[in-house]
Amino acid sequence: MSQPPKTALITGGSRGIGRECALRLAQAGYNVCITYISKPEQARETCSEIENRGGQCSAFQLDMGSREAISEFFAGEIRDKVDLQVLVNNAGMTQDGLLVRMKPEQWENVIRVNLTGPFTCLQQAAKIMMRSRYGRIINLSSVTAQTGNAGQANYTSAKAGIIGLTKTAAQELAPRNITVNAVAPGFIDTDMTGSLPEDIRNRFLEMIPLKRLGTTRDVAACVAFLASEEAGYITGQVLGVNGGLYM
């Protein structure tokens, strides 16, 4: 009986940071599974690029705000189907607003997608990885989790929760040779930040000691390292990819 392919799962892997992580992990020899919530054409483009480079990629639509959908996805597409060695919890969303005006659904939606969703993925992945006594879990946090950010009480709370989740999971899973780390990007040049007014972008640039925006490749390089054998003695850590930015 042949062994299932070693696989990396990247949530929100169709664009931005997630897409670059998928490309890097495919380059490192993993079969890649990516999830997306909308715009299947972007997911197909990402898979096509990986396949054109000689890799393997599968894309799945997944609502990260639904614990039931995540559990069904792992049961139907991951468990006993692939050798899951890497999980990159990348998918997320924003619904910004000043805290005194923030509607309950704005808070609940962001916490559900950005914290409860990653927790559920981590929980499901850990059950699989514990059986094989190997795994690499990388959670995407944010520099705002460490600094706060006006207008993002929901987002910063979720990303701060990711750091706490990472440190706790690292302690619980270390005996099974599973590492759990977080990457906290700073101001990264993505579609989301590209829509900001020029004066706001310039203000952030002035605050970054390296005087440039980060790239998705900067973040993916750190994710790929934490997923590698060389990072086997690193767990429970938060790696900032921020050009020195601490607001």
Q: Which residues are catalytic?
A: 155
Least confident range from 88-97, 124-133, 201-210, 214-223: namely 201-210
Distances (CA, A) of 183 to 26, 71, 109, 169: 19, 24, 22, 15
- The amino acid that residue 69 corresponds to is A
Residues 25-37: tens digit of each pLDDT: 999 999 999 999 9
Residues 143-162: tens digit of each pLDDT: 999 999 899 999 999 999 99
Q: Which domains does the chain have, with CATH numbers?
A: 6-241 (3.40.50.720)
- pTM for the predicted model, two decimal places: 0.95
Measure the CA–CA gap between 72 and 98, rounded to whole angstroms: 35
Burial class (CB in 10 A: 0-12, 13-18, 19+), 111: middle
Residues 70-115: tens digit of each pLDDT: 999 999 999 999 999 999 999 999 999 999 999 999 999 999 999 9
Measure the CA–CA gap between 108 and 111, rounded to whole angstroms: 5
